[in-house]
Structure 1
């Protein structure tokens, strides 16, 4: 398929062109591009960040035109390689023919890359039809079986200043000492909660050592908030909220966790609302993914999160591949 292969451009951290930046930052794309854009900006503007790591992007344009349709990222963070992220470019038209052709071309382009190993593709995360199309193409072309049950099956939602809901009623929880950014003294507890959270995200569990490293990074980068409480003489962190992906206009909540002993007492809602309020002071949108079976959907709706299209919830899947054939990463 030489005519289609020519529709894919590859860029590393040193040469992402202006048309790709404009697409990623465009108002109609910025929310979905949050899984790609903040990391791309960081590694492109800071060559000293993760030197020698794997960072590249594939951009698919319609054959014979310059219209960008999909952007794929193959990148790596401090704790390991990320899934392949694929975003559709607005206006989103996901016809079967376009999906099949473009995803097969992405697969061919990856496998033709000199330094690329097929074991690198441990999972793909995208809007449901894109994730499904890529998984089918990769299974056929790379001959690596997909795992039938998705690692993550989630709805995508957005909170804006217009949808954000300030708490109308006085909070019923009166044990809260402070809702604040975490500090270095919180590292031990944050590490413990990061490890517990990872245990709910199989297969991306963290050892105590890696959880400690994640906690250190979150605190150093001012990316994790805590709800500190005092109850029955005990001072504890009841909830954490992480906000790790931030561009000029969009920020993402990427981790909300409350241990069992403090659940169903309103702590998570208070902290999520506080974090959103802070983020919306400097960003136009806050985005998050919430599992389709996660009861926290109601909590986020009460704070002001809404589907991009009111009529149809936008579903995203992370589809994994045979773990005997791949090198598992983490995100």
Structure 2
């Protein structure tokens, strides 16, 4: 038997072998697998697409998603079961994925591709040859990292609040009363993530969705008895599956920086999540100073002391913005 690809337009139709491959690699498959679990309840409206590549022996080696979320179309995500040492001969399977994708969607739908670096680069090259849509620029280069109960750093190492300021704090899951202020921070966070900018209206939609699904935590702070209670930081975990959760949004209001708010809240979130999950994953931009915070909390491979198994570079490349329709993720 030759290798083949199969396409699925509803999560309920995805082959069990594909689900098993994703479930067996829950961390690395985090951009795809949690969405499939949610999408099983979605209507059959043609807005979702997954394409799987099967080797001649039936082994699933790649899964591509081209899907749509609350805020619009996602980039193309590609997951591979191939470890880094086996990614030299990937042109043929990625070419088959690209052909199947082109047969299902218009070129302007594919505004970006995100995967481990070798897969992203090769798929983008193939897609450019196939459609004539050139890569415009690099959107995001990130380190994929993880934290477990064994690597999590105890909260005794938290930075204390300054003694010369009368600060009161509260940390916990966001509720509806926090919606407007969470939306403000979502809007500010998106402003640092070009091209995925949000209008205030869409930021409010995102905040409502995250709060309703209990996916965002807040660090509330108040200075003085009569001071306003503000949200200093937010941390979100929007991609959750059976054993894994992803930290997907960490942002501190500039007014409350240098007080350890993000780290304090991140530790709380990790503690909450690790009570139920085996592993937490995240992507942190290469060169982003936040990597130091994640390292202190217990995320691996961010200290620059050699390679760590399971930690690697991921890359997002964006296609010609004059020819595509930019979505969001």
Verify same fold: TM over 0.5.
yes
Measured after TM superposition, the shift of residue 188 of structure 1 is 1.0
Measured after TM superposition, the shift of residue 61 of structure 1 is 2.0
> When the two structures are aligned, how many residues end up with a matched partner?
318
> Which consecutive unaligned segments of at least 5 residues does structure 2 have?
none
Deviation string 1:159-204 (CA, Å, 9 cap, x unpaired) is 0011011123464126342111111111111111111111101111
Partner Cα separation in structure 2 for residue 313 and residue 288 of structure 1: 10
Equivalent residue, structure 2, for 1:166? 154
Equivalent residue, structure 1, for 2:265? 271
Cα gap change, 1:93/1:15 in structure 2, threshold over 3 Å: closer, same or farther? farther
Deviation string 1:275-311 (CA, Å, 9 cap, x unpaired) is 0000001110010000001001010011010149517
Partner Cα separation in structure 2 for residue 119 and residue 192 of structure 1: 31
Measured after TM superposition, the shift of residue 312 of structure 1 is 8.6
What secondary structure sits across from 1:38 in the alignment? Answer: helix
Equivalent residue, structure 1, for 2:325? 327
8 A contact 1:99–1:130 mirrored in 2: yes
Equivalent residue, structure 2, for 1:117? 106
Partner Cα separation in structure 1 for residue 42 and residue 83 of structure 2: 33
Deviation string 1:192-247 (CA, Å, 9 cap, x unpaired) is 11111111011110011111111111111111110001124232111000110100
Measured after TM superposition, the shift of residue 266 of structure 1 is 0.4
Measured after TM superposition, the shift of residue 74 of structure 1 is 1.0
Alignment of 1:136-285 (within 5 A): 136-148=125-137, 150-169=138-157, 171-173=159-161, 175-232=167-224, 233-285=227-279
* TM-score of the pair, normalised by structure 1: 0.91
Equivalent residue, structure 2, for 1:10? 7
> Which consecutive unaligned segments of at least 5 residues does structure 1 have?
none
* TM-score of the pair, normalised by structure 2: 0.92
What secondary structure sits across from 1:151 in the alignment? Answer: strand
8 A contact 2:219–2:234 mirrored in 1: yes
Cα gap change, 1:169/1:123 in structure 2, threshold over 3 Å: closer, same or farther? closer
Partner Cα separation in structure 2 for residue 314 and residue 34 of structure 1: 14
Equivalent residue, structure 2, for 1:314? 312
Partner Cα separation in structure 2 for residue 259 and residue 147 of structure 1: 31
8 A contact 1:156–1:287 mirrored in 2: yes
